[in-house]
Amino acid sequence: MTNQAAALHPNACLWPQWKVSPRVRAFVTTRAGGVSAAPYDGGAPGAGGLNLGLSTGDAPHAVAENRRRALALTHTRNAAWLEQIHGTQVEDAHAVIERLGKGERTRADASVTDRAGVVCIVMTADCLPVLFCDDDGRAIGAAHAGWRGLAGGIVEKTGERVAALAGVPASRLNAYLGPAIGPEAFEVGEDVLEAFVAAARASHRDATVAAFRPAGGVPAKYFADIYALARLRLADLGVDAARIHGGTHCTVTERERFYSYRRDRVTGRMAAMIWLAD
């Protein structure tokens, strides 16, 4: 039986180490701290998993309890859960929540807000979560950046929306790159390389190509560095490297800590959450 009084320990999450207003609160869940059973478990023998994905095949009651535990850390129930589609649509988080209240889902891959107590959320299991805020905590955003969305401009579009809400130039934004598939595990085809090169600015074309390392002995296959590619897109937005944080984990190789679709296929989802405190 699920223990409804149980709480998620903050140490089960990753917390961005950025120097921004204390109004900005953010964390990324791991696979630990929940009630889901294998294959959605917590990565250690007998440990329940914190799977937050409703469409993964996990027991709905387990996901509901996991979501309750994660949201308890935000002290609000105003959560903008999205139906992610690997696109570039950015939504207002409050509007997403209003639709959820009517039983309507929002198909998008990012949300933004300048309202306190509204949580922007994206879920991942190898794709890159990118969190945004300005220094003073006027506005925030969360983007789900799989390779299609990243090449299509989801990072720039989300950052531009956050900057507009905050009333600051995009160069004054801070970004956090949450856990994603690492450069030693993200094997892709030539179509992915070509998509990024075609979308890159001329000044960043060589650096974009350099983010793809040929897979030894496998024709037209590469290992892509999604973190490097995201940093290039943030640079296009005008965000200085000193304002970009995170980008050090690998969901595939850190088996006991993260869910990974590439590794396991049937797996759970983590969530990157950001909100403004009152």
Mean pLDDT of the chain: 96
Task: Give the separation between CA 271 and CA 54, rounded to whole angstroms.
Answer: 12
For residues 224-253, b (16+ Cβ closer than 10 Å) or e, as one string? bbbbebbbbbbbbbbbeeebbbbbebbbbe
Instruction: Give the CA distances from residue 34 to residues 46, 47, 49, 252, 258, in Å, rounded to whole numbers and listed in that order.
Output: 11, 8, 4, 20, 13
| Whole-number Å distance between alpha carbons of 25 and 77 | 15
- Can you tell me the distance from the alpha carbon of 40 to that of 269, in angstroms, rounded to the nearest whole number? 9
Distance CA 196, CA 173 (A): 23
pLDDT at 1 (0 to 100): 39
Instruction: Give me the pLDDT at residue 217, please.
Output: 82
Look at residue 201 in the predicted model and tell me its pLDDT. Answer: 95
DSSP lists the bridge partners of residue 17 as: none
> pLDDT tens-digit profile of 101-152?
999 999 999 999 999 999 999 999 999 999 999 999 999 999 999 999 999 9
- Strands in 119-124's sheet, in edge-to-edge order, are 13-14, 24-29, 270-276, 119-124, 79-80
**Residues of the chain where predicted confidence (pLDDT) is lower than 70:** 1-5
How far apart are alpha carbons 39 and 58 in whole angstroms? 9
Q: Note if the pTM is more than 0.85.
A: yes
pLDDT value of position 4:
53
Backbone phi and psi for residue 212, each to the nearest 5 degrees, phi listed first: -115, 120
pLDDT at 218: 85
Q: pLDDT tens-digit profile of 215-232? A: 988 899 999 999 999 999
Domain at 13-180+242-276: CATH architecture: 4-Layer Sandwich (3.60)
Q: Could you tell me the CA-to-CA distances from 56 to 48, 84, 256, 270 in Å, in that order? A: 16, 13, 19, 12
Per-residue pLDDT, 170: 97
For the chain, what are the domain ranges?
Answer: 13-180+242-276
- Inter-axis angle of helices 154-166 and 226-237, to 10 degrees? 40
Sign of CA dihedral 145, 149, 155, 157: negative
